[in-house]
Amino acid sequence: MSIQIFGTPVSRGVAIGRAVLVASSRVDVAHYFVGPDRVPAEIDRLRQARDAVVAELTQLKDELPQEAPHELSALLDVHLMLLHDDTVSDATKQWIEQRHYNAEWALSAQLEVLARQFDEMEDAYLRERKADVEQVVERMLRVLAGSSPAPGAPPPAGGPRDFGGEDPLVLVASDVAPADMLQFKRSVFTGFVTDVGGRTSHTAIVARSLDIPAVVGAREASRLIRQDDWVVIDGDAGVVLVNPSSIVLEEYRFRQRQSELERARLNRLRNTPAVTLDGQPVELLANIELPGDAPAALEAGAVGVGLFRSEFLFMNRGGSLPGEDEQYEAYRDAVLAMQGLPVTIRTVDVGADKPLDRMSAHELRHEYGLNPALGLRAIRWSLSEPGMFRQQLRAILRASAHGKVRVLIPMVAHLSEIRLTLEALARARQQLDEAGRAYTAVEVGAMIEVPASAVIIDRFLRHFDYVSVGTNDLIQYTLAIDRDDEAVAHLYDGWHPAVLHLLQQTIASAQAAGKSVCVCGEMAGDTAFTELLLAMGLRSFSMHPARLASVKQRVLRADTRWLQERLPAVLAADDPAAAMLLLLRERTGV
């Protein structure tokens, strides 16, 4: 049966593929293909993992003390039985043989199939047996994690598969933690759908950086879609079609080809300088999550990095944090990769929906109940860990010996935070001097993403070399809309007059003070806002490399004098988005 599911579009284009359902807790399982010649070796890994778990459980059972409750031994019997059950081992083998999944992926794919069968059982006792299967699979995954993968895996990032004929795949999950999204940079998936999340949730942001069509906040998607269903993800409209008719499928294939052609056409602008029709140069910078993203930024024609979200270096480390040298190497790598272009490194912004440990925003909320977006995050967290903060500042300063580095402080709201931050920087410099370490002058900037800082922007500007507007949070905090919450996603609106007012005030004040100002939130990469931001006087935009060409196209066609004259009318309109659209239509005559 064909169904449609609606969600929030976060990354443009059309993806068509077979669904791979991945449980939230298992997205960190390695997903890669093994070539046909590696299939027997992969099946062998699976067999060895099963044998190891059988041995482990048998030993556990043999060593059970006399007085142990009988249920425990019975439970171990059930687990041992499951390990020999065809629905686990044979079916898992088939995922490897027929789909060429690696062992871990095959195992978790089969777990998803079985979990659904259990969920649908009438009998409560049988339904609860799902937990047993999960425990057994968990044990096998642990063994597999310790075993070396089949030689040759995983395949190169984004590279073609070394065997033909397989269908493209799309990921369907209830939720994906931001840190887990990173591994999809090397992934086999051509699109994805999640049940939760909003337009600027960090999962959505990483999806956009991957430049694959995605829909979030699709609520029931992971329940309604089944493993292997054909799925169309319309990343423009936020619609997911499950098992569409062949006519609909053909229509989407046509649209997919069109958007690929459009993308290729846009990519030709790569080396064209971003200058408006009236000769205003515009700086288009890249947002990156890891040093490995820098080549893509260059490739897209970025003239620097406007936002390096350093927190991704801090995630999923089981409680340990990256030391000064490790951080320094990462920052240095990014600086060197950018070949002399400036790199803006934001100090760590953990907390809210970016916890240090693997936890999705959804789980986080369940776990803590409090509102993490208003809690100890970003600069608040850094200042509460002064040793860690100075360590990061030293690492960033050391990277400045290799190229142009700028430091960016997230979520500053209080003047006392500015004072403490500048003191920490001074102390970090002093420590480097004492240790005889090289560094050069770095510009220090503040992110304007809390309304309080936009309201008293003039006082902030006295202390910083530049400011960068984080519109994702500025919208969230101005409108009191949790950016991760799909239930209020329809109210999350960058066109809200209050947001536009703060934005305009920030840009105008920075320019009056002779300080540079950039926008590095998702708004900078959203072409719906390009003319508005240009009209406000913005000349520096930082976005995912994948968005750069589209924004550049809009810049090349814009006349800032013409836009500036019409800005007051747009801002005064009840619906500024519609007013802007109307103006642009009139101008182009479309």
Q: Which residues are catalytic?
A: 202, 520
Which CA distances in Å does 387 have to 4, 324, 423, 427, 429? 51, 11, 13, 11, 14
Q: How far apart are CA 237 and CA 240, in angstroms?
A: 9
* 376 contact partners, CB below 8 Å, separation of at least 6: 351, 384
**What does the block give as tokens for 389?**
């903060």
Q: How far apart are CA 197 and CA 200, in angstroms?
A: 8
For residue 413, the partner it binds in ligand PEP, Mg ion, none, with Cβ less than 5 to 8 A by kind, is none
C-beta closer to ligand PEP: residue 191 or 525: 525
C-beta closer to ligand PEP: residue 338 or 519: 519
C-beta closer to ligand PEP: residue 7 or 525: 525
Helix, strand, coil percentages, rounded to 5, for the chain: 55, 15, 35
For residue 417, the partner it binds in Mg ion, ligand PEP, none, with Cβ less than 5 to 8 A by kind, is none
Tell the smallest beta-carbon distance from residue 348 to Mg ion (Å): 12
Other CB atoms within 10 Å distance of the CB of residue 271: 6
C-beta closer to ligand PEP: residue 178 or 322: 178
- The crossing angle, in degrees rounded to 10, of helices 103-119 and 89-99 is 130
Q: How far apart are CA 141 and CA 365, in angstroms?
A: 27
For residue 521, the partner it binds in ligand PEP, Mg ion, none, with Cβ less than 5 to 8 A by kind, is ligand PEP
Tell the smallest beta-carbon distance from residue 468 to ligand PEP (Å): 8
Question: CB-hemisphere CA count at 13 Å for 511?
Answer: 12
The 3 state secondary structure assigned to 262-309 is: HHHHHHCCCCCCCECCCCCECEEEEEECCHHHHHHHHHCCCCCEEEEE
* 570 contact partners, CB below 8 Å, separation of at least 6: 532, 535, 576, 579, 580, 583
CA-only gyration radius of the chain, Å:
26
Q: Which residues bind Mg ion (CB under 5 A)?
A: 449, 470, 473
Residues β-bridged to residue 189: 169
Amino acid letter, 209: S
The backbone torsions φ and ψ at residue 27, rounded to the nearest 5 degrees and listed phi first, read -70, -15
Tell the smallest beta-carbon distance from residue 308 to ligand PEP (Å): 11
C-beta closer to ligand PEP: residue 9 or 17: 9
Q: Which residues bind ligand PEP (CB under 6 A)?
A: 205, 307, 309, 349, 449, 470-473, 520-521
- Could you tell me which of 322, 346, 323 has the C-alpha nearest to residue 334? 346
C-beta closer to Mg ion: residue 522 or 531: 522
Q: How far apart are CA 354 and CA 381, in angstroms?
A: 12
For residue 504, the partner it binds in ligand PEP, Mg ion, none, with Cβ less than 5 to 8 A by kind, is none
Tell the smallest beta-carbon distance from residue 294 to ligand PEP (Å): 18
C-beta closer to ligand PEP: residue 16 or 348: 348
C-beta closer to Mg ion: residue 13 or 351: 351
Question: Can you say whether residue 279 is alpha, beta or left, with left for phi > 0 and alpha for psi between -120 and 50 degrees?
Answer: left
Tell the smallest beta-carbon distance from residue 307 to ligand PEP (Å): 6
**What does the block give as tokens for 457?**
């922007």
The backbone torsions φ and ψ at residue 230, rounded to the nearest 5 degrees and listed phi first, read -80, 130
- The answer to whether the bond into 154 is cis (omega within 30° of 0) is yes
For residue 309, the partner it binds in Mg ion, ligand PEP, none, with Cβ less than 5 to 8 A by kind, is ligand PEP
For residue 269, the partner it binds in Mg ion, ligand PEP, none, with Cβ less than 5 to 8 A by kind, is none
For residue 107, the partner it binds in ligand PEP, Mg ion, none, with Cβ less than 5 to 8 A by kind, is none
